[in-house]
């Protein structure tokens, strides 16, 4: 015994087996995704539907009361799979080139992103997001989290909440593909839809998030996180406003220091450093080039975090785009180099041959 459904396809009514319906529905959904960017996609889909209706109608006339999965398979074979249709019908498409006329930059990214999975969540979807990122079973991550909860001195709740705030929610099929590190192309979106990652009944054309019915717990937790997020944002803006004059001052001082370094050489610089009085004139104990390098190091060591902080604050306040990754790496590299420079300098300054052992100097330089 099989359950059947009644469908209206291209103006005709059909009784169709449930599995046959699923197949046909997936097929039409895939086609709709294929043609969604094309002008007149609705008309194309109507053509498909009325033709399929015609073909199935022939079966009906042959005496089949119910359309079964074999009939649907025959029809699909005759109409062609989305790949075949696209391959054959588009004279400008080259073979074996994945379709990436998506226009948006996500089309080319194969990079994985840490995102929360909206379709597979108990609280925020953090665990499933981590699992997708690490390519492991979400249940394993959840178990590990729960186990960690019982181990004292490991504050697992705080990082979880932070991750919840920081990780974006993967809402669309495209998001979920990025989350899994799969390339975003039509085949994959189609696959992800047919795999049931996304509810196909929702408006496929614009990939609006498929809002699964959520439990009260999830709703409450979502509300809490949104609330805390807004609070944090307000807090960050206030801090930013308070800190801004200070930061401007710091930058100003840094400029003076740099200017002093170029104008007056290292000797002048030592005088400007607040924590080293001019009375300690150890400059003679160290080679000049080292002093210059050390000073540059010190400026970078202080300056890079300050600039990074300013950039971050400005970004939050004025909604700037985040710093590009290469820039971040270069800054980090520079900072490490400057740290090494400072340490080397401090070591030389701290232990000049005729001064013997001085403990505090290296720290005061850094």
Partner 1 sequence: MNAENVKSQMRKGALEYCILLLLKKEPAYTSDIIQKLQEAKLIVVEGTLYPLLTRLKNSELLAYQWVESTQGPPRKYYQLTEKGEDFLKELEISWQELNETIAHIKQVNP
* Complex with partner 1: residue 39 or 101, whichever CB lies closer: 39
Residues 141 and 122: beta-carbon distance below 8 Å:
no
Instruction: Please tell me what DSSP assigns to residue 12.
Output: E
* Shortest distance in whole angstroms from residue 6 CB to partner 1: 18
Instruction: Please tell me what DSSP assigns to residue 66.
Output: E
Q: Please, which residues have CB within 8 angstroms of residue 295's CB and are 6 or more apart in sequence?
A: 261, 266, 269
Count Cα neighbours of 262 within 13 Å in the Cβ-side half-sphere: 5
* Complex with partner 1: residue 40 or 278, whichever CB lies closer: 40
* Shortest distance in whole angstroms from residue 81 CB to partner 1: 8
* Complex with partner 1: residue 91 or 324, whichever CB lies closer: 91
Q: Is 251 helix (H, G, I), strand (E, B) or coil?
A: helix
* Shortest distance in whole angstroms from residue 72 CB to partner 1: 14
* Shortest distance in whole angstroms from residue 185 CB to partner 1: 18
* Shortest distance in whole angstroms from residue 195 CB to partner 1: 22
* Residue ranges that bind partner 1, judged by CB under 8 A: 10-12, 31, 35, 38-40, 43-44, 47-48, 50-51, 53-54, 57, 78-82, 84-85, 88-91, 95
CA torsion through residues 7, 13, 17, 23, sign: negative
* Shortest distance in whole angstroms from residue 177 CB to partner 1: 24
* Complex with partner 1: residue 31 or 177, whichever CB lies closer: 31
H or E stretch covering 130: helix 126-134
* Complex with partner 1: residue 18 or 88, whichever CB lies closer: 88
Q: Which residue pairs from 271-275 have beta carbons closer than 8 angstroms and sit at least 24 positions apart in sequence? A: 273/298, 275/364
Q: Please, which residues have CB within 8 angstroms of residue 322's CB and are 6 or more apart in sequence?
A: 315
* Complex with partner 1: residue 38 or 195, whichever CB lies closer: 38
Q: Please, which residues have CB within 8 angstroms of residue 259's CB and are 6 or more apart in sequence?
A: none
What would the two tokens of residue 33 be?
């995704």
């Amino acid at each position: 015994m099989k359950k059947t459904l009644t469908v209206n396809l291209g103006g005709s009514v059909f009784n169709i087996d449930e599995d046959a319906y699923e197949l046909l529905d997936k097929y039409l959904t895939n086609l709709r995704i294929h043609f969604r960017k094309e002008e007149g996609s609705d008309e194309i889909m109507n053509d498909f539907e009325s033709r399929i209706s015609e073909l199935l109608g022939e079966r009906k006339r042959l005496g089949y009361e119910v359309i079964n999965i074999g009939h649907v398979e025959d029809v699909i074979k005759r109409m062609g799979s989305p790949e075949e249709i696209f391959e054959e019908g588009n004279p400008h498409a080259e073979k074996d080139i994945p379709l990436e006329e998506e226009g948006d930059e996500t089309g080319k990214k194969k990079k994985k992103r840490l995102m929360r999975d909206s379709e597979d969540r108990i609280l925020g979807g953090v665990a499933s997001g981590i699992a997708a990122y690490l390519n492991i079973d979400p249940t394993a991550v959840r178990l590990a989290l729960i186990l960690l909860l019982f181990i004292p001195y490991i504050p697992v709740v705080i990082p979880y909440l932070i991750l919840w705030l920081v990780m974006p929610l993967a809402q669309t099929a495209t998001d979920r593909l990025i989350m899994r590190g799969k390339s975003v192309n039509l085949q994959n979106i189609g696959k992800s839809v047919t795999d049931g990652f996304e509810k196909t009944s929702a408006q496929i054309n614009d990939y609006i998030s498929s809002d699964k019915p959520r439990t009260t717990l999830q709703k409450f937790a979502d509300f809490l996180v949104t609330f805390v997020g807004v609070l944090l944002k307000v807090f960050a803006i206030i801090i930013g406003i308070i800190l801004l004059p200070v930061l401007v001052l710091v930058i100003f001082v840094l400029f003076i220091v740099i200017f002093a370094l170029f104008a007056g050489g290292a000797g002048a610089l030592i005088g400007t450093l607040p924590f080293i009085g001019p009375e300690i004139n150890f400059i003679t104990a160290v080679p000049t080039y080292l002093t210059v390098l050390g000073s540059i190091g010190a400026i970078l060591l202080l300056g890079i975090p300050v600039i990074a902080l300013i950039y971050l604050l400005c970004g939050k306040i004025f909604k700037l785009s985040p710093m590009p990754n290469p820039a971040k790496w270069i800054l980090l590299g520079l900072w490490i180099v400057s740290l090494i420079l400072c340490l080397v300098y401090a070591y030389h300054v701290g232990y000049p041959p005729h001064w013997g052992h001085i403990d505090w100097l290296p720290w005061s330089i850094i």
